[in-house]
């Protein structure tokens, strides 16, 4: 009981809105903009949740001002991490197919709040939730922004845009149940798909997620090939852009990836079967690759491991699609990196456990990125790929989203798993430095 009470108190303490007092952070080593060299001994001046100034040396007081001091003078300080692909309303192993018909939207929202906190406590101060049912994620996004519950800033896609019977449609339930679960992201033909995109924006979507091809976890044997036609993809991308939204495609097989790139998509999620020709198309269009490597490491990167791992009870239709993947996510990401494709970090967390998000950095180093390149993917690059203003680097005017480690992740990337300090919008969520 006492433990529960303390946990609740901690939760409420976290949820204070950003205070207007000045906060000074002494940063021993500061990686303000990943991609640039770190500098030593700086003071960050923070007010109203934003960085207002970066000063040389350790200053303790501003003339005529009171300030709270946070001493990270022996720590490595950098921007909070960004994950462009999560699904906070559930997690594999939740028995989600059953819960979809037994649990309410309100229940999904509460569960998502728990996963959002885990994500924040892994150092991720901004995430994109790429596909969710009902109102749960919109409510959670707004509740976090208002300071009611702890969590990262969230960009919400709402329902994924999907064709009838496509990857993000409802599969394998009896017809009456499917009707109740119907998604307002289902559309067929360019005009209908314009309507579906507009509807998600009307519902509050910050970004448009599209299932351009089939996917692994939908319970259907229709494969991972292209599902939207070229003209549908063009209509979707044009409509999203006309409404000021980034548009990103879930895509596995090459023809679907290529079609989305040609249609003007801003990014491709997964991109499993992209080849060298597709990588060239990425570079020509300027689109970002969001490779989501870690889930397959978690699930098992060989058929043997997959059959015994956390996904061993997948329906046969899904298992058949999963078994094809193997080392492909790593091999594909390695090729993309070698060819100079722009890569931003996304994990598809919810497939892998929430809170494991930073393990994606380790995957990027494993395929040949330098630690600095990996850190860029999850900070400055993710902000640019997602069109997310005010995050991803530390500079005057940017959000005070900070993480700290006791040793440099540029020497050992695994330091990202050992955070000592987490701040989002000037609110301290962890300080064990």
Q: Which residues bind Zn ion (CB under 5 A)?
A: 348
| Least distance (Å) between residue 221 CB and Zn ion | 20
CB 428 within 8 A of CB 49: no
Residue in this structure with the two tokens 């959002």, named with its chain if needed? 116
CB 367 within 8 A of CB 337: yes
| Least distance (Å) between residue 58 CB and Zn ion | 43
Label residue 249 left, alpha or beta by phi (over 0 means left) and psi (-120 to 50 means alpha): beta
| Least distance (Å) between residue 349 CB and Zn ion | 9
The burial class, CB within 10 Å (0-12 / 13-18 / 19+), for 397 is exposed
What letters, b where the CB count within 10 A reaches 16 and e where it falls short, cover 9-38?
Answer: eeeeebbeebeeebbbbbbbbbbbbbeeeb
Which residue, 14 or 273, is less far from Zn ion as judged by CB?
273
Adjacency order of strands within the sheet including 22-30: 50-56, 39-47, 22-30, 67-79, 402-405, 419-424, 427-431
**Which residues does residue 77 pair with via DSSP β-bridges, in sequence order?**
30, 404
| Least distance (Å) between residue 47 CB and Zn ion | 37
Distance CA 51, CA 55 (A): 11
Which residue, 70 or 217, is less far from Zn ion as judged by CB?
217
Tokens of residue 361, six digits: 């950095």
Which residue, 253 or 348, is less far from Zn ion as judged by CB?
348
| Least distance (Å) between residue 332 CB and Zn ion | 16
Which residue, 169 or 425, is less far from Zn ion as judged by CB?
169
Which residue, 23 or 249, is less far from Zn ion as judged by CB?
249
| Least distance (Å) between residue 350 CB and Zn ion | 7
Phi, psi of 116 (to 5 degrees): -65, -40
Q: Which of 392, 306, 299 is nearest to 345 (CA)?
A: 392
Which residue, 26 or 85, is less far from Zn ion as judged by CB?
85
| Least distance (Å) between residue 45 CB and Zn ion | 38
How many Cα atoms occupy the beta-carbon half-sphere of 425 within 13 Å? Answer: 20
> Could you tell me which residues come within 8 angstroms of residue 43 by beta carbon, excluding any fewer than 6 positions away?
24, 25, 26, 27, 54, 55, 56, 57, 58, 59
Which residue, 348 or 425, is less far from Zn ion as judged by CB?
348
Number of Cβ within 10 Å of residue 238's Cβ equals: 16
Which residue, 348 or 415, is less far from Zn ion as judged by CB?
348
| Least distance (Å) between residue 207 CB and Zn ion | 13
Residue at shortest CB range from Zn ion: 348
């Amino acid at each position: 009981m006492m433990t529960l009470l303390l946990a609740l108190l901690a939760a409420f303490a976290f949820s204070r809105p950003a205070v207007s007092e000045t906060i000074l952070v002494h940063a021993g080593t500061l990686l303000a903009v990943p991609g640039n060299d770190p500098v030593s001994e700086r003071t960050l001046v923070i007010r109203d949740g934003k960085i207002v100034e970066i000063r040389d040396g350790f200053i303790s007081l501003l003339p005529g001002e009171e300030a709270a001091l946070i001493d990270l003078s022996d720590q490595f300080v950098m921007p909070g991490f960004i994950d462009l692909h999560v699904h906070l309303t559930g997690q594999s192993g939740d028995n989600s197919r059953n819960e979809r018909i037994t649990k309410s939207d309100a229940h999904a929202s509460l569960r998502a709040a728990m996963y959002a906190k885990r994500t924040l406590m892994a150092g991720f101060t901004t995430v994109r939730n790429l596909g969710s049912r009902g109102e749960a994620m919109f409510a959670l996004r707004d509740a976090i922004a208002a300071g009611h519950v702890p969590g990262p800033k969230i960009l919400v896609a709402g329902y994924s845009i999907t064709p009838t019977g496509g990857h993000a449609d409802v599969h394998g339930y009896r017809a009456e149940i499917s009707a109740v679960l119907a998604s307002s992201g289902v559309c067929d033909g360019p005009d209908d798909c314009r309507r579906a995109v507009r509807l998600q924006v009307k519902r509050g979507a910050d970004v448009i997620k599209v299932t351009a091809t089939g996917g692994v976890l939908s319970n259907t044997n229709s494969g991972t090939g292209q599902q939207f036609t070229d003209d549908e993809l063009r209509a979707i991308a044009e409509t999203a852009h006309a409404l000021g939204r980034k548009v990103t495609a879930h895509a596995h097989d090459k023809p679907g990836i290529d079609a989305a790139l040609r249609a003007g998509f801003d990014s491709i999620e997964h991109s499993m079967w992209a080849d060298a020709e597709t990588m060239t198309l990425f570079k020509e269009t300027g689109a970002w690759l969001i490779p989501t490597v870690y889930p397959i490491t978690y699930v098992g990167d060989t058929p043997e491991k997959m059959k015994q791992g956390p996904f061993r009870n997948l329906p046969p239709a899904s298992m058949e699609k999963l078994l094809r993947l193997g080392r492909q996510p790593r091999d594909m990401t390695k090729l993309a990196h070698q060819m100079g494709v722009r890569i931003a970090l996304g994990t598809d967390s919810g497939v892998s456990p929430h809170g494991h998000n930073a393990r994606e950095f380790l995957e990027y180093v494993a395929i040949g990125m330098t630690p600095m390149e990996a850190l860029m993917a999850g900070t400055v690059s993710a902000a640019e790929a997602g069109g997310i203003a005010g995050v991803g680097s530390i500079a005057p005017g940017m959000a005070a989203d900070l993480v700290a480690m006791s040793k440099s992740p540029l020497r050992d990337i695994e330091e990202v798993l050992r955070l000592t300090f987490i701040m989002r919008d000037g609110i301290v969520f962890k300080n064990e430095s």
